Chain A
Protein backbone atom coordinates (compact mmCIF):
# COMPACT_ATOMS: atom_id res chain seq x y z
CA UNK A 1 0.00 0.00 0.00
CA UNK A 2 2.89 2.25 0.71
CA UNK A 3 4.25 4.34 -2.11
CA UNK A 4 7.63 5.85 -1.45
CA UNK A 5 8.17 9.48 -2.11
CA UNK A 6 10.10 9.61 -5.34
CA UNK A 7 11.58 12.01 -7.82
CA UNK A 8 9.30 13.95 -10.08
CA UNK A 9 10.43 12.12 -13.22
CA UNK A 10 9.60 8.73 -11.85
CA UNK A 11 6.42 10.07 -10.38
CA UNK A 12 5.19 11.05 -13.80
CA UNK A 13 5.86 7.61 -15.23
CA UNK A 14 3.77 6.00 -12.54
CA UNK A 15 1.19 8.69 -12.88
CA UNK A 16 0.69 7.96 -16.54
CA UNK A 17 0.65 4.20 -16.25
CA UNK A 18 -1.90 4.46 -13.50
CA UNK A 19 -4.37 6.00 -15.91
CA UNK A 20 -7.03 3.60 -17.07
CA UNK A 21 -5.73 0.84 -14.87
CA UNK A 22 -9.06 0.19 -13.20
CA UNK A 23 -11.16 -2.10 -15.33
CA UNK A 24 -14.93 -2.39 -15.18
CA UNK A 25 -15.64 -4.71 -12.25
CA UNK A 26 -17.73 -7.79 -12.67
CA UNK A 27 -20.57 -8.89 -10.49
CA UNK A 28 -19.66 -12.16 -8.76
CA UNK A 29 -23.22 -12.97 -7.73
CA UNK A 30 -26.49 -11.11 -8.03
CA UNK A 31 -29.72 -12.05 -6.29
CA UNK A 32 -32.67 -10.22 -7.77
CA UNK A 33 -35.69 -10.10 -5.49
CA UNK A 34 -37.34 -7.36 -7.46
CA UNK A 35 -36.33 -5.65 -10.69
CA UNK A 36 -36.66 -1.88 -10.93
CA UNK A 37 -40.17 -0.99 -12.01
CA UNK A 38 -41.51 -4.47 -11.20
CA UNK A 39 -44.98 -4.47 -9.66
CA UNK A 40 -44.90 -5.93 -6.16
CA UNK A 41 -47.23 -8.87 -5.84
CA UNK A 42 -48.31 -10.40 -2.56
CA UNK A 43 -45.96 -13.24 -1.74
CA UNK A 44 -47.43 -16.03 0.28
CA UNK A 45 -44.83 -17.16 2.74
CA UNK A 46 -44.74 -20.93 2.58
CA UNK A 47 -42.85 -21.23 5.80
CA UNK A 48 -45.17 -18.93 7.68
CA UNK A 49 -47.04 -21.56 9.67
CA UNK A 50 -43.95 -23.47 10.55
CA UNK A 51 -42.13 -20.30 11.51
CA UNK A 52 -44.80 -19.35 14.00
CA UNK A 53 -44.21 -22.54 15.90
CA UNK A 54 -40.46 -22.41 15.61
CA UNK A 55 -39.42 -20.26 18.54
CA UNK A 56 -35.76 -20.23 17.51
CA UNK A 57 -36.47 -19.03 13.98
CA UNK A 58 -38.78 -16.39 15.37
CA UNK A 59 -36.09 -15.41 17.83
CA UNK A 60 -33.45 -15.16 15.16
CA UNK A 61 -35.73 -12.91 13.14
CA UNK A 62 -36.56 -10.77 16.14
CA UNK A 63 -32.88 -10.56 16.99
CA UNK A 64 -32.31 -8.58 13.80
CA UNK A 65 -33.47 -5.55 15.70
CA UNK A 66 -30.62 -6.11 18.14
CA UNK A 67 -27.96 -6.38 15.42
CA UNK A 68 -27.88 -2.62 15.07
CA UNK A 69 -25.71 -2.66 18.19
CA UNK A 70 -24.87 -6.27 19.00
CA UNK A 71 -23.00 -9.12 17.36
CA UNK A 72 -23.39 -12.70 18.49
CA UNK A 73 -20.75 -14.55 16.47
CA UNK A 74 -18.15 -16.18 18.68
CA UNK A 75 -15.03 -14.05 18.98
CA UNK A 76 -16.40 -11.17 16.89
CA UNK A 77 -15.42 -7.79 18.31
CA UNK A 78 -18.20 -5.97 20.15
CA UNK A 79 -19.74 -3.08 18.27
CA UNK A 80 -21.84 -0.39 19.98
CA UNK A 81 -23.12 -3.04 22.39
CA UNK A 82 -21.23 -6.06 23.74
CA UNK A 83 -20.93 -9.36 21.89
CA UNK A 84 -23.80 -11.57 23.08
CA UNK A 85 -22.25 -14.95 22.36
CA UNK A 86 -22.45 -17.13 25.45
CA UNK A 87 -24.65 -14.62 27.22
CA UNK A 88 -26.53 -17.28 29.20
CA UNK A 89 -24.86 -17.84 32.53
CA UNK A 90 -22.51 -14.90 32.06
CA UNK A 91 -22.08 -12.42 34.87
CA UNK A 92 -23.38 -9.07 33.58
CA UNK A 93 -20.74 -6.61 32.46
CA UNK A 94 -17.98 -9.12 31.81
CA UNK A 95 -17.67 -9.51 28.02
CA UNK A 96 -14.07 -8.84 27.07
CA UNK A 97 -12.95 -5.52 25.65
CA UNK A 98 -16.23 -3.74 26.13
CA UNK A 99 -16.57 -0.50 28.10
CA UNK A 100 -19.66 -1.19 30.22
CA UNK A 101 -21.70 1.40 32.06
CA UNK A 102 -21.06 1.57 35.76
CA UNK A 103 -24.61 0.32 36.31
CA UNK A 104 -24.04 -2.88 34.38
CA UNK A 105 -20.50 -3.52 35.52
CA UNK A 106 -21.50 -3.38 39.19
CA UNK A 107 -24.96 -4.96 38.94
CA UNK A 108 -23.83 -8.38 40.13
CA UNK A 109 -26.48 -9.91 37.87
CA UNK A 110 -26.04 -13.23 36.14
CA UNK A 111 -27.86 -13.50 32.83
CA UNK A 112 -30.50 -16.19 32.73
CA UNK A 113 -34.01 -16.39 31.36
CA UNK A 114 -35.49 -14.44 34.25
CA UNK A 115 -32.94 -11.60 34.37
CA UNK A 116 -32.89 -11.26 30.59
CA UNK A 117 -36.67 -11.17 30.57
CA UNK A 118 -36.73 -8.35 33.07
CA UNK A 119 -33.92 -6.41 31.44
CA UNK A 120 -35.09 -6.72 27.85
CA UNK A 121 -38.66 -5.72 28.72
CA UNK A 122 -37.41 -2.38 30.06
CA UNK A 123 -33.62 -1.99 30.23
CA UNK A 124 -33.57 1.47 31.83
CA UNK A 125 -36.26 0.56 34.36
CA UNK A 126 -34.68 -2.76 35.29
CA UNK A 127 -31.13 -1.44 35.51
CA UNK A 128 -31.12 2.35 35.84
CA UNK A 129 -27.93 3.82 34.38
CA UNK A 130 -27.50 1.27 31.61
CA UNK A 131 -26.22 2.59 28.27
CA UNK A 132 -28.77 0.42 26.48
CA UNK A 133 -31.16 3.24 25.72
CA UNK A 134 -32.88 1.56 22.77
CA UNK A 135 -33.87 -1.93 21.88
CA UNK A 136 -36.37 -2.91 24.57
CA UNK A 137 -38.32 -5.97 23.46
CA UNK A 138 -41.75 -5.14 24.84
CA UNK A 139 -43.75 -7.86 23.08
CA UNK A 140 -43.85 -10.88 25.39
CA UNK A 141 -43.71 -13.50 22.66
CA UNK A 142 -40.88 -11.78 20.81
CA UNK A 143 -38.96 -11.43 24.01
CA UNK A 144 -39.40 -15.13 24.80
CA UNK A 145 -38.18 -15.93 21.28
CA UNK A 146 -35.17 -13.63 21.48
CA UNK A 147 -34.16 -15.18 24.80
CA UNK A 148 -34.53 -18.66 23.29
CA UNK A 149 -32.31 -17.55 20.41
CA UNK A 150 -29.72 -16.06 22.77
CA UNK A 151 -29.73 -19.31 24.70
CA UNK A 152 -29.14 -21.25 21.48
CA UNK A 153 -26.04 -19.13 20.89
CA UNK A 154 -24.62 -19.97 24.30
CA UNK A 155 -22.56 -23.10 24.72
CA UNK A 156 -23.85 -25.49 27.34
CA UNK A 157 -27.20 -23.82 27.18
CA UNK A 158 -28.96 -25.93 24.64
CA UNK A 159 -27.17 -25.51 21.29
Chain B
Protein backbone atom coordinates (compact mmCIF):
# COMPACT_ATOMS: atom_id res chain seq x y z
CA UNK B 1 0.00 0.00 0.00
CA UNK B 2 1.01 3.62 -0.42
CA UNK B 3 2.73 5.11 2.60
CA UNK B 4 4.42 8.34 3.49
CA UNK B 5 8.21 8.14 3.35
CA UNK B 6 10.67 10.78 4.41
CA UNK B 7 14.01 11.66 2.93
CA UNK B 8 15.79 13.62 5.61
CA UNK B 9 18.48 14.83 3.22
CA UNK B 10 15.88 16.96 1.48
CA UNK B 11 13.98 18.16 4.52
CA UNK B 12 14.46 21.90 5.03
CA UNK B 13 12.91 21.87 8.49
CA UNK B 14 10.39 24.47 7.34
CA UNK B 15 7.49 22.90 9.27
CA UNK B 16 5.08 23.56 6.39
CA UNK B 17 3.90 19.94 6.64
CA UNK B 18 2.75 20.62 10.19
CA UNK B 19 0.67 23.61 9.05
CA UNK B 20 -0.80 21.72 6.10
CA UNK B 21 -1.67 18.86 8.43
CA UNK B 22 -3.35 21.17 10.92
CA UNK B 23 -5.29 22.84 8.12
CA UNK B 24 -6.37 19.55 6.53
CA UNK B 25 -7.67 18.27 9.85
CA UNK B 26 -9.27 21.54 10.95
CA UNK B 27 -12.47 21.08 8.97
CA UNK B 28 -12.06 24.65 7.70
CA UNK B 29 -11.93 25.47 3.99
CA UNK B 30 -9.84 28.61 4.37
CA UNK B 31 -6.25 28.16 5.48
CA UNK B 32 -5.95 31.57 7.07
CA UNK B 33 -9.11 31.09 9.06
CA UNK B 34 -7.95 27.65 10.11
CA UNK B 35 -4.50 28.68 11.30
CA UNK B 36 -4.39 32.39 12.13
CA UNK B 37 -3.72 33.01 15.82
CA UNK B 38 -4.25 29.32 16.54
CA UNK B 39 -1.86 27.02 18.36
CA UNK B 40 -1.66 24.12 15.95
CA UNK B 41 -1.75 20.44 16.91
CA UNK B 42 -0.53 18.64 13.81
CA UNK B 43 -0.39 14.86 13.54
CA UNK B 44 2.94 15.10 11.74
CA UNK B 45 5.87 16.54 13.71
CA UNK B 46 9.24 17.76 12.51
CA UNK B 47 12.17 16.62 14.57
CA UNK B 48 15.79 17.61 14.35
CA UNK B 49 18.49 20.18 14.98
CA UNK B 50 20.27 22.80 12.87
CA UNK B 51 21.79 20.22 10.55
CA UNK B 52 19.25 17.42 10.25
CA UNK B 53 15.49 17.51 10.22
CA UNK B 54 12.76 15.10 9.26
CA UNK B 55 9.03 14.66 9.67
CA UNK B 56 7.47 11.87 11.71
CA UNK B 57 3.94 10.57 11.38
CA UNK B 58 2.08 7.27 11.75
CA UNK B 59 3.83 4.52 9.76
CA UNK B 60 0.63 2.50 9.38
CA UNK B 61 2.56 -0.58 10.47
CA UNK B 62 1.70 -3.97 8.99
CA UNK B 63 1.67 -5.30 12.55
CA UNK B 64 0.30 -2.29 14.43
CA UNK B 65 0.98 -2.52 18.16
CA UNK B 66 -1.41 0.37 18.85
CA UNK B 67 -4.33 -1.52 17.31
CA UNK B 68 -3.48 -4.73 19.13
CA UNK B 69 -2.97 -2.94 22.44
CA UNK B 70 -6.00 -0.64 22.28
CA UNK B 71 -8.09 -1.39 25.36
CA UNK B 72 -11.37 -0.09 23.97
CA UNK B 73 -11.32 -1.58 20.48
CA UNK B 74 -11.33 1.97 19.07
CA UNK B 75 -8.35 1.35 16.81
CA UNK B 76 -8.54 -0.75 13.69
CA UNK B 77 -6.96 -1.12 10.26
CA UNK B 78 -9.17 0.06 7.40
CA UNK B 79 -7.75 -0.67 3.93
CA UNK B 80 -4.26 -0.54 5.38
CA UNK B 81 -4.82 2.73 7.23
CA UNK B 82 -4.57 2.64 11.02
CA UNK B 83 -7.76 4.35 12.12
CA UNK B 84 -9.06 5.53 15.47
CA UNK B 85 -12.80 5.63 16.15
CA UNK B 86 -12.78 8.64 18.46
CA UNK B 87 -16.34 7.87 19.50
CA UNK B 88 -15.06 4.69 21.18
CA UNK B 89 -11.69 6.06 22.35
CA UNK B 90 -11.55 6.88 26.06
CA UNK B 91 -8.14 8.56 25.93
CA UNK B 92 -6.33 6.01 28.11
CA UNK B 93 -3.19 6.52 25.97
CA UNK B 94 -2.20 2.85 25.80
CA UNK B 95 -1.44 3.56 22.12
CA UNK B 96 0.96 6.31 23.20
CA UNK B 97 2.57 3.78 25.55
CA UNK B 98 3.28 1.31 22.74
CA UNK B 99 3.86 3.28 19.51
CA UNK B 100 7.60 2.92 18.73
CA UNK B 101 7.50 6.06 16.58
CA UNK B 102 5.82 8.33 19.08
CA UNK B 103 3.28 9.03 16.35
CA UNK B 104 0.06 8.85 18.37
CA UNK B 105 -0.81 11.81 20.57
CA UNK B 106 -3.61 13.14 22.72
CA UNK B 107 -5.99 15.39 20.79
CA UNK B 108 -5.88 19.04 21.93
CA UNK B 109 -9.38 19.03 23.40
CA UNK B 110 -8.34 16.08 25.55
CA UNK B 111 -10.24 12.90 26.09
CA UNK B 112 -9.27 11.10 22.90
CA UNK B 113 -6.17 10.56 20.76
CA UNK B 114 -5.31 11.78 17.30
CA UNK B 115 -3.02 10.40 14.64
CA UNK B 116 -2.26 10.62 10.94
CA UNK B 117 -4.82 8.73 8.89
CA UNK B 118 -3.26 9.76 5.56
CA UNK B 119 -6.00 12.40 5.21
CA UNK B 120 -8.52 9.64 4.48
CA UNK B 121 -10.56 11.05 7.36
CA UNK B 122 -10.79 14.61 6.05
CA UNK B 123 -11.86 16.28 2.82
CA UNK B 124 -8.32 16.24 1.37
CA UNK B 125 -8.43 12.49 0.71
CA UNK B 126 -4.68 12.25 0.28
CA UNK B 127 -1.85 13.48 2.49
CA UNK B 128 -1.83 17.28 2.64
CA UNK B 129 1.68 17.25 4.14
CA UNK B 130 3.08 15.54 1.05
CA UNK B 131 1.24 17.79 -1.38
CA UNK B 132 2.56 20.90 0.34
CA UNK B 133 6.16 19.83 0.89
CA UNK B 134 8.23 22.34 -1.10
CA UNK B 135 11.28 20.10 -1.47
CA UNK B 136 9.64 16.67 -1.90
CA UNK B 137 11.24 15.51 1.33
CA UNK B 138 8.06 13.58 2.12
CA UNK B 139 6.50 11.43 -0.55
CA UNK B 140 3.43 9.21 -0.73
CA UNK B 141 4.17 6.07 -2.67
CA UNK B 142 4.09 2.32 -2.91
CA UNK B 143 7.40 0.74 -1.98
CA UNK B 144 6.36 -2.64 -0.74
CA UNK B 145 8.17 -2.12 2.55
CA UNK B 146 7.46 -0.09 5.62
Whether chain B is bound by chain A comes out as: no
> Chain B interface (Cβ within 8 Å of chain A)?
none
> Chain A interface (Cβ within 8 Å of chain B)?
none
